[in-house]
Amino acid sequence: MDSGTPGGDRTVTFIPGLTVSLRQQLSLGFEAMNSTTLEAVGKRYDATLMQHARRKSWAALYGIRERMRPGISEDEAKVEAAEVFRELGTERLWHPVLIRIGANTTKTYREKSDPTVRLGENDSYFIDIGLVFDGHEGDVGDTFVTGHAPEQRACAEAARTLFHEVADAWRTQGLSGQALYAFTDERAQALGYRLNHAVKGHRVCDFPHAIHKGGDLGALDSTPSSGLWILEIQIAHPSEPFGAFYEDLLCHETGTRHAQ
């Protein structure tokens, strides 16, 4: 999820190679929604370090998963998450930790959770974290299930399936951000779930990406570049009070399918 805070003026690079300060950008009157400016990165940007931040973020997410137990609340889980981040040497968070349990898994990023909800014996939850390692942003999320909860497990797997289908469509067809989310909606309905249309993906790069004002992936009318965008998928069961979430970096490296 994207809730980064813009910083001050600094030098940025517009792929493929034009370097200019933000103040110069404004004075030159570049179009704000131009796909080139939407994919601006800082001078420190390194694609290898983006993958490093991605791997470390997944390690952190699975570290939090190991600490989740029936009876834990979302606030208690966030305390556990902070300890995991310290152990991994996380530089900082670039967005608040989001852990949703049970019925709260249907809520959007900016909606408040019911604080009385605790993880049940047969239940589901998701984790969404945005971390900085070596000056580069990671943003990952996945949904997990406790005990015997087959419907929740199927929903969690559907979110993963959707992510990988959509990412593969981007790799093979070069779809725009807008087309990616249209395809996501179509596939979610085919799988029997409701897509959360408020979740549209966002930029990442060397910290802070928010200074570039890249907007939503779902609003991008061109093909997104590898290693610069987070593809987010949030779905909900059509009649039951639970949902699922999955997100990862949209990149040519396929990585490992994260499973329960």
Quick: pLDDT tens for 24-51: 433 334 333 445 689 999 999 999 999 9
Taking the C-alpha atoms of residue 92 and residue 207, their distance in angstroms, rounded to an integer, is: 10
Lowest pLDDT segment from 65-74, 141-150, 209-218: 209-218
Q: Which contiguous run of DSSP H or E holds residue 153?
A: helix 150-173
What is the predicted pLDDT for the residue at 16? 37
- Whole-Å CA distances, 144 to 127, 158, 212, 245, 252: 8, 12, 33, 9, 25
Question: What are 187-219's pLDDT values in tens digits?
Answer: 999 999 999 999 999 999 999 998 888 899 999
pLDDT score of 7 more than 60: no
Write the class of the CATH domain 11-250: alpha beta
Lowest pLDDT segment from 39-43, 142-146, 184-188: 39-43
Torsion over CA of 251, 210, 110 and 140, rounded to 10 degrees? Answer: 30
Name the amino acid, one letter, at 255: G
Residues 6+ apart with CB under 8 A from 78: 97, 99
Question: Which pTM was predicted?
Answer: 0.86
What is the predicted pLDDT for the residue at 213? 81
What is the predicted pLDDT for the residue at 259? 52
Q: Which contiguous run of DSSP H or E holds residue 57?
A: helix 47-67
Q: Are strands 123-133 and 194-195 parallel, antiparallel or unpaired?
A: unpaired
Average pLDDT over residues 122-142: 98
Q: What is the mean pLDDT of the chain?
A: 88
Q: For residues 6 and 156, which has the higher predicted lDDT (pLDDT)?
A: 156
pLDDT score of 228 more than 90: yes
What is the predicted pLDDT for the residue at 26? 39
pLDDT score of 14 more than 80: no
Q: Which two tokens stand for residue 123?
A: 């239940």
Taking the C-alpha atoms of residue 84 and residue 89, their distance in angstroms, rounded to an integer, is: 9
Place of tokens 């897509």: 195
Average pLDDT over residues 117-144: 98
Q: Which two tokens stand for residue 259?
A: 């499973």
Please state, for a pLDDT cut of 70, what percent of the chain lies above it: 84
Q: How many residues are listed for the chain in this entry?
A: 260
